[in-house]
Structure 1
Amino acid sequence: MIDQVVSMVNGWIENFDLLSEGWRAGIVVFALVFGTATAAYLAGHMIVALERKFTKTKNLWDDAVLHAARKPVVAFVWLQGVYWAAEVAHHYSKAEIFTVNGAVLQVGFIWIVVWTMLRAIKEIEKILVSPLKMKSPMDYTTVNAVSKLSRAVVIITAILIVMQTLGYSISGVLAFGGVGGIAVGFAAKDLLANFFGGFIVHLDRPFKVGDWVRSPDRSIEGTVEHIGWRMTTIRTFDKRPLYVPNAAFTTIVVENPSRMTNRRISETIGIRYTDVSHMAPIVSDIRTMLENHEDIDSQQTLIVNFLAFNASSLDIMVYTFTKTTEWVRFHEVKQDVLLKISNIIEGYGAEVAFPTRTLHLPDGLRLEKDRSPTGATSEDPARKQGDGKNTESAGSATKLGDEGESGEGE
């Protein structure tokens, strides 16, 4: 059909004698390009109109197909129109650049088909994970992995088809790939390890995007933002990005707190030794409070018992699980539980114990208060004054005695 159109246009140019052959060919080429632009514009607007019409239907897949095909259809119109213009120009010009028109058309057509398929895969991925479009949206990590694998298969197949179209032997390429793959495997073993590590993560799904993960083997803890084929991006709780090679996940232990069913409250609360008579009712009331608490899962393990005689307290073990797994809500529930336990203890006139020390003194030993640095006990001020005068008199007498002895000596 293309050859017939080109032959008809060339015959019309040769039979039209008003202008020179070059001018006639130029006008026809311009007309073809202008017509291509018009056709592409109309095709794009037609598909947009169809998209608006089909968005009102309940079928989601026709919307995805139309949206995926809109730009490739416009590109196909341009490819075909430019090819016709190039063929007309090639008929009157022997330039070498026009000798590749057929190969460019074939490669361009393959590229448009591949582009359409890649866009369709992307649109299908969006539908499958959207909670607005699907009643039960699929797991994003799984759908994303399948989408990446599908796109890789399409691209590799397209490359092989293009090479076959251009005259290269696929069998030779595959043989070279088998020999060269060994050398590439040794040179890029870390890259391949990360690739297969990412494949294992997508296959086993120990975590997905949005999960809180941590590793006791490494300093890794945060929220998963992206799972790639080479590395995984984790946002730490201080908002720093952490890039972990996927090969690391095949050798370390990964904990996923996001998949816990409950959060645990495990506390040891001590009361004073003087409150030992209230221990049994306090323990009973705490257990009853937890069993009736709306945010405590009574179906899980619940332990409230007198635990031990500690150095300064009588310890009570409180071990239970909350219904919520949300971090912020868990601390609100835990605060409420601890405050209610405190109220129960205070209700019996008891107190929560804190570290204390008792000093026992032997009988007959008395501590004196306000003892002076010289060891004398301080008493009333009048006595202190008297003591001062006596001390001064004794000093004067001593002085006179010394003088008398000196006189006798003389």
Structure 2
Amino acid sequence: MNQLLSYLPEPILSILEKWDTNVLLITIASFIAWLAWRIIYNRLEVLVEKTRFHWDDMVLASIKTPISTLIWCWPATLSLGFVLEDHFSSKLDWLSTLKLLLIIGIFIWVTMRLVNNIEEYALTQKSHDETTVQAVAKVSRLFIIVLGTLTIMQAFGLSLSGLLTFGGVGGLVVGFAAKDLLSNFFGGMMIYFDRPFKVGDWVRSPDRQIEGTVERIGWRMTVIRTFDKRPLYVPNSVFSSIVVENPSRMLNRRIYENIGIRYDDGAKVAAIVSDIKAMLENHPDIDTEQTLIVNFNAFGASSLDLMVYTFTKTVNWVRFHKVKQDVLLKIMQIIRDNNAQVAFPTQTLKINPLEVQDLSAKAFSSQHELQGKE
């Protein structure tokens, strides 16, 4: 090798002897390394696509851009150091710190991209709960940022023990100053771990005028879209002090109606009750494993009241009303088939004929007296 180099011209030989301190050669070497990385990446991409696992795809996608950036930035840092040292004729200690910060930044970048890729993949899987996936991803990103910040501080020469001591005292001050912010933060943590609702659920609170569909659960507030399409921004701390109802998790929807029959059809009540109950037991959209009650319930002011209490199989709001309409129409038909009628508010006025005659006689005599006076 040395014999081959001896045949090269003296200027080229002098450049090659100092290749690691020559900016042009470092740039060329960076370009060659970048081309090699692109070739290796494309080959690896073909290999991971043939595997059944998705983790290798996500890891490879996470390191693609950061590695390319490192290939260009690391030699650029070396070149910058050589140029500055030639001008200032002194060693620059901060360049070593800059290189360390570059490594730390690349590591944080790779891990953050990996967390984002895993989150996106997990959200596409229906078997994973969306709220839990987002919570784990947010906690992971927060942990990476805190760890990276502490590492960067240590790279600058700061004492972590002193920093943690100061952080303990400063945490008390910040805790008092940002009490509401912290309460919202821990309220969000409570939502993530207790999971009273998740993104996409219909929620409402009997304590507050809160009802709608959950769009996003953040660290500070939860966004709920009301049914008139207005966004509602609720601080997370509110959910620790109110009752929250989650109708999205109901197992059935209830049909509970009181139907009045005329008093004139009292003899037909037993047959009507039996027919309605048989109809519900054979209805394809009624869950017969739940409570099913059809009974003569009360003597109303103008009707004999029948109670119909049952549950549908569907929990969908639109589908439920279609089933309820079908049930009510069939009940009305059963009443007609039994030659009965649904009652409506009525009053019966009873008149005594003798009292009517007395009133008529008095009215007639009063009229004659008035005519005589005239």
Q: TM-score, normalised by structure 2?
A: 0.86
The offset of 1:284, in angstroms, is: 0.2
The offset of 1:36, in angstroms, is: 3.1
Q: Give distance in 2, aligned partners of 1:238 and 1:13.
A: 77
Once the two structures are overlaid, the 10-residue window that deviates more, 120-129 or 72-81, is 120-129
- Contact 2:115/2:137 (<8 A) preserved: yes
Q: Alignment partner of 1:114: what SS?
A: helix
1:124 aligned to 2:114? no
Q: Give distance in 2, aligned partners of 1:270 and 1:44.
A: 80
- Cα distance change, pair 244–38 in 1 and its aligned pair in 2 (3 A): farther
Partner of 1:77: 71
1:87 aligned to 2:77? no
Partner of 1:284: 274
1:301 aligned to 2:295? no
1:103 aligned to 2:97? yes
1:166-177 equivalences in 2 (<5 Å): 166-177=156-167
The correspondence for 1:258, drawn from 248, 266, 270, is 248
The offset of 1:39, in angstroms, is: 4.1
The correspondence for 2:352, drawn from 362, 368, 372, is 362
One-letter code aligned to 2:346: T
The correspondence for 1:50, drawn from 40, 44, 66, is 44
1:137 aligned to 2:127? yes
- Contact 2:85/2:91 (<8 A) preserved: no
Once the two structures are overlaid, the 10-residue window that deviates more, 99-108 or 147-156, is 99-108
Partner of 1:32: 26
1:346 aligned to 2:336? yes
Partner of 2:4: none
- Contact 1:41/1:74 (<8 A) preserved: no
Once the two structures are overlaid, the 10-residue window that deviates more, 117-126 or 52-61, is 52-61
Partner of 2:189: 199
The offset of 1:129, in angstroms, is: 3.3
| Number of residue pairs matched by the alignment | 347
Q: Give distance in 2, aligned partners of 1:41 and 1:209.
A: 44
The offset of 1:43, in angstroms, is: 3.0
Deviations 1:278-321 (A, max 9, x none): 10010000000001111100010000000111111111100000
Q: Give distance in 1, aligned partners of 2:102 and 2:163.
A: 22
The offset of 1:139, in angstroms, is: 1.2
- Contact 2:30/2:72 (<8 A) preserved: yes
- Cα distance change, pair 28–334 in 1 and its aligned pair in 2 (3 A): same
Partner of 1:383: none
Partner of 1:395: none
Q: Alignment partner of 1:207: what SS?
A: coil
- Contact 1:48/1:70 (<8 A) preserved: no
Q: Give distance in 2, aligned partners of 1:100 and 1:342.
A: 88
- Cα distance change, pair 44–228 in 1 and its aligned pair in 2 (3 A): farther
Q: Give distance in 1, aligned partners of 2:269 and 2:100.
A: 88
Q: Alignment partner of 2:296: what SS?
A: strand
The offset of 1:90, in angstroms, is: 3.0
One-letter code aligned to 1:80: W
Give the unaligned 5+ runs of structure 2: 1-9, 361-366, 368-374
Once the two structures are overlaid, the 10-residue window that deviates more, 90-99 or 170-179, is 90-99
- Cα distance change, pair 180–349 in 1 and its aligned pair in 2 (3 A): same
Deviations 1:84-119 (A, max 9, x none): 221331342218996532211110110110111111
1:156-175 equivalences in 2 (<5 Å): 156-175=146-165
One-letter code aligned to 1:116: V
Identity %: 52
- Cα distance change, pair 260–37 in 1 and its aligned pair in 2 (3 A): same
- Contact 1:262/1:321 (<8 A) preserved: yes
- Contact 2:199/2:214 (<8 A) preserved: yes
One-letter code aligned to 2:147: T
- Contact 2:302/2:343 (<8 A) preserved: yes
Deviations 1:386-408 (A, max 9, x none): xxxxxxxxxxxxxxxxxxxxxxx
Q: Alignment partner of 1:93: what SS?
A: helix
Q: Give distance in 1, aligned partners of 2:75 and 2:130.
A: 41
Q: Give distance in 1, aligned partners of 2:56 and 2:176.
A: 46
- Contact 2:85/2:92 (<8 A) preserved: no
Partner of 1:271: 261
RMSD of equivalent CA atoms? 2.7
The correspondence for 1:325, drawn from 283, 290, 315, is 315
- Contact 1:86/1:98 (<8 A) preserved: no
The offset of 1:44, in angstroms, is: 4.6
Q: Give distance in 1, aligned partners of 2:290 and 2:148.
A: 56
The offset of 1:260, in angstroms, is: 0.7
- Contact 1:213/1:255 (<8 A) preserved: yes
Q: Give distance in 1, aligned partners of 2:234 and 2:217.
A: 10
The offset of 1:126, in angstroms, is: 2.5
- Contact 2:108/2:145 (<8 A) preserved: yes
Q: Give distance in 1, aligned partners of 2:331 and 2:36.
A: 75
Q: Give distance in 1, aligned partners of 2:189 and 2:164.
A: 23
- Contact 1:44/1:73 (<8 A) preserved: no
Q: Alignment partner of 2:287: what SS?
A: coil
- Contact 2:215/2:225 (<8 A) preserved: yes
Partner of 2:326: 336
The correspondence for 1:235, drawn from 207, 225, 245, is 225
- Cα distance change, pair 14–311 in 1 and its aligned pair in 2 (3 A): same
Partner of 2:136: 146
The offset of 1:12, in angstroms, is: 8.0
Q: TM-score, normalised by structure 1?
A: 0.79
Q: Alignment partner of 2:214: what SS?
A: strand
Q: Alignment partner of 1:218: what SS?
A: coil
One-letter code aligned to 1:101: L
Once the two structures are overlaid, the 10-residue window that deviates more, 136-145 or 212-221, is 136-145
